Amino acid sequence: MTVLVAYNETPQGEAAFAAAVSEASRRGTTVTILVLTPQPESAPVPAHLAHLLETVGDQEVEVAFRLDTIDVADAILDHAERSDAQVIVIGSRKRSSVGKFLLGSTTQRVLLDSAVPVLVIKAKH
C-alpha cells in the first residue's frame, strides 16, 4: 500500500508533496508520486521534483508519469487503483464558482469518484 500524491510544479503540488510524505511517514508506508505533466517514461525526473526528492530522507518514494492521452482525474484514479493507494493527496487552488462550472474540476472528480480517502491540501501563500 502507498500514499499517492498528484504532483505538478505549482505551490499546490509542492504542498501536496510535503503532506504526502508526512502522511506516508505517519502511516509507515511508501509514497507514490504521479507527475501530472506528461513526460515519456524514459525521461529523467524533472529538476523541480528532483530537488523535492532530496528532502524526504529515508522515505521510500516511487515516481510515475501521466500519459498525455489520459485525462488528469482519470490518471489519478487509475493510478490509485493500480498502486493500491491507501489515500490520495491532491493540491487545490481557489477558483470561482463560474470557473468551476465552465472548466470542471479535477479535484471534484477525484473526490467524488475515488474509492479511497482523498486529502486535499491548499498551498500557503
The predicted-structure confidence for 32-84, as pLDDT tens digits, reads as follows 999 988 776 666 777 888 888 888 888 888 888 888 788 999 999 999 999 99
Q: What CATH number did the domain enclosing 78 receive?
A: 3.40.50.620
What is the DSSP code string of 77-96?
A: HHHHHHTTEEEEEEEE----
The pTM score is 0.86
Number of domains in the chain: 1
pLDDT of 10-37, one tens digit each? 899 999 999 999 999 999 999 999 998 8
pLDDT of 99 reads 56
Grid cell listed for 20: 504526502
CB 43 within 8 A of CB 23: no
C-alpha cell at 76: 489519478
Q: The domain containing residue 101 runs over which residues?
A: 2-122
